[in-house]
């Protein structure tokens, strides 16, 4: 488009130039005609002045001579850059000078009343020869200019045609560009529509997924709530059971020891504290053998075991009604009957429950 615009502007400039040259040729032709007219006016006013002697005719004749000189100067300037025409205009200079000098002489003679001189000058061929010479050159110059006018008009026409073609090329190019832009816009709109459709579909899919997920979450939440409630109930039940068990153990009058698998005390009931006079913190984690001691080997055993309690736990067997002693806080030994029950978790022995029944009442201890 820039190239077409540049060419169009250049063509318009050339059109203006060629138009100027056509106008210039017209101006030369008009000046040639004006020179010829001034020549006729000068001749006419000269003869009128000779007949009437009226000074106004003399002035008119002198003005016509000045006009001839003026037109000659203009023609000379107009043809300055055209050597052939300039040479032709130059051919006018000599006859114009001769003509002007003769006319001046004639005017002076007439003003002085020298009628014979006037007659002689009029009869002489100087003026007529000069006029003929000027007419010949003017005709030749005009013919040349008319030929030149045809040539320049043709050039101007061709230039106009070129400008027209350039403009139409620009218009065609513009139409093509517009079509291209329209196609691009259409393509862009189509792509945008496709993207919008894809986005809407993705949106719908996401919405359905969100709904589905929300449903799942709601369901899971309800399930968890139920589970949580059940768990709470179970915990309550367990706590209740634990407290109940605790109460059962605490309400037993026999001494109850809960031990680990290695027979370290992990729990005692209040009867132990009552009988031994010790506090629970001094008993917890203490080895059981430091508090309770078996007196004899169990009945029916072939050989005495180093530690029947440890053996019973390892074997996972109960040990019932064994005579034993328990030492209280003051070091007094109290005879008891000992029973051991292995404590199982998932069918594995994790500790033991030892119960002691006091066979002889012991002295009371303050807690």
Partner 1 sequence: MDDLLQDRKMNAKRFANHFEDFKFDYHPFDVQSPKQFLITRRGDCIDYAVLADHVLSHHGIPTRLIRVEMVGKNTGHAVCYVTEDRAYLDYNNRKYFFVLQRSGPTIREIATTVARSLDANWTFAQEFSFDYESFIKRALATVVKTDPPELDADKVIPPRSKTNP
Stretch that binds partner 1, among 71-79, 242-250, 277-285, 352-360 (CB under 8 A): 71-79
Q: How far is the CB of 147 from partner 1 (least distance, A)?
A: 17
Stretch that binds partner 1, among 3-11, 19-27, 194-202, 305-313 (CB under 8 A): 19-27
Q: How far apart are CA 116 and CA 104, in angstroms?
A: 16
Q: Does 84 bind partner 1 (CB under 8 A)?
A: no
Q: Which of 8, 14, 21, 114 binds partner 1 (CB under 8 A)?
A: 21
Q: Are 330 and 340 in contact (CB under 8 A)?
A: no
Q: How far apart are CA 165 and CA 156, in angstroms?
A: 14
Q: Does 7 bind partner 1 (CB under 8 A)?
A: no
From residue 30 to residue 69, the character string flagging contacts with partner 1 as x (rule: CB under 8 A) and all else as - is: x----------------------------x--xx--x---
Instruction: Give ∠ CA 264-267-272 in degrees, rounded to 5.
Output: 105
* Strand pairing class (319-327; 333-345): antiparallel
Stretch that binds partner 1, among 14-22, 50-58, 199-207, 324-332 (CB under 8 A): 14-22
Q: Does 20 bind partner 1 (CB under 8 A)?
A: yes
Stretch that binds partner 1, among 24-32, 114-122, 267-275, 283-291 (CB under 8 A): 24-32
Q: Does 222 bind partner 1 (CB under 8 A)?
A: no
Q: Does 27 bind partner 1 (CB under 8 A)?
A: yes
Q: How far is the CB of 33 from partner 1 (least distance, A)?
A: 9
258 Cα distance to chain centroid:
78
Q: Which of 10, 26, 164, 213 binds partner 1 (CB under 8 A)?
A: 26
Q: How far apart are the first and last CA of the chain?
A: 114
Handedness of CA 308, 312, 315, 318 (dihedral sign): positive
Q: Which of 4, 8, 74, 252 binds partner 1 (CB under 8 A)?
A: 74
Q: Does 24 bind partner 1 (CB under 8 A)?
A: yes
Q: How far is the CB of 71 from partner 1 (least distance, A)?
A: 10
Q: What is the DSSP string of 80-118?
A: TT-HHHHHHHHHHHHHHHHHHHHHHHHHHHHHTT-HHHH
Q: Which is nearer to partner 1, 115 or 151 (CB)?
A: 151
Q: Residue for token digits 């629970």? A: 280
SS3 268: strand
Q: Which is nearer to partner 1, 19 or 129 (CB)?
A: 19
Q: Are 89 and 76 in contact (CB under 8 A)?
A: yes
Q: How far is the CB of 69 from partner 1 (least distance, A)?
A: 8
Q: Are 42 and 179 in contact (CB under 8 A)?
A: no
Q: How far apart are CA 217 and CA 144, in angstroms?
A: 106
Q: CB within 8 A of 85, min separation 6: which ones?
A: 28, 79, 141, 144, 145
Q: How far is the CB of 178 from partner 1 (least distance, A)?
A: 35
Q: Which is nearer to partner 1, 16 or 171 (CB)?
A: 16
Number of residues that bind partner 1 (CB under 8 A): 20
Distances (CA, A) of 324 to 78, 127, 158: 157, 183, 143
Q: Which is nearer to partner 1, 68 or 288 (CB)?
A: 68
In the complex, the residues that contact partner 1 under the rule CB under 8 A are 17, 19-21, 23-24, 26-27, 30, 59, 62-63, 66, 70, 73-74, 77-78, 80-81
């Amino acid at each position: 488009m820039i190239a077409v615009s540049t060419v169009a502007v250049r063509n318009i400039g050339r059109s203006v130039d060629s138009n100027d040259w056509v106008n210039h040729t017209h101006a030369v032709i008009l000046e040639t005609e004006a020179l010829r007219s001034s020549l006729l006016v000068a001749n006419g006013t000269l003869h009128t002045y000779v007949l009437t002697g009226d000074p106004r005719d003399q002035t008119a004749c002198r003005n016509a001579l000045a006009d001839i000189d003026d037109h000659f100067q203009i023609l000379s300037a107009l043809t300055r850059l055209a050597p052939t025409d300039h040479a032709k205009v130059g051919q006018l200079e000599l006859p114009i000078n001769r003509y002007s000098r003769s006319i001046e002489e004639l005017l002076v003679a007439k003003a002085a009343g020298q009628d014979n001189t006037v007659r002689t000058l009029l009869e002489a061929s100087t003026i007529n020869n000069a006029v003929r010479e000027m007419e010949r050159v003017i005709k030749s110059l005009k013919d040349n200019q008319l030929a030149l006018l045809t040539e320049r008009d043709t050039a101007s026409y061709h230039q106009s045609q070129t400008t027209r073609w350039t403009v139409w090329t620009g218009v065609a190019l513009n139409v093509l560009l517009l079509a291209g832009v329209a196609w691009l816009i259409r393509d862009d709109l189509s792509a945008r529509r496709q993207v919008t459709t894809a986005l809407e579909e993705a949106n719908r899919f996401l919405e359905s997924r969100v709904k589905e997920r929300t449903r799942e979450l709601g369901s899971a939440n309800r399930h968890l709530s139920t589970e949580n409630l059940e768990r709470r109930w179970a915990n309550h039940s367990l706590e209740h059971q634990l407290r109940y068990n605790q109460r059962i153990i605490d309400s037993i009058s026999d001494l109850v020891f809960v031990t680990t698998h290695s027979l370290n005390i992990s729990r005692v009931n209040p009867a132990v504290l009552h009988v031994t006079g010790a506090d629970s913190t001094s008993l917890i984690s203490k080895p059981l053998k430091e508090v309770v001691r078996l007196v004899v080997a169990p009945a029916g055993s072939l050989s005495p075991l180093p530690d029947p309690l440890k053996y019973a736990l390892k074997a996972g067997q109960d040990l019932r009604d064994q005579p034993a002693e328990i030492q209280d806080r003051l070091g007094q030994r109290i005879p008891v009957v000992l029973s051991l029950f292995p404590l199982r978790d998932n069918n594995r022995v994790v500790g033991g429950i030892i119960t002691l029944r006091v066979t002889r009442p012991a002295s009371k201890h303050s807690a």
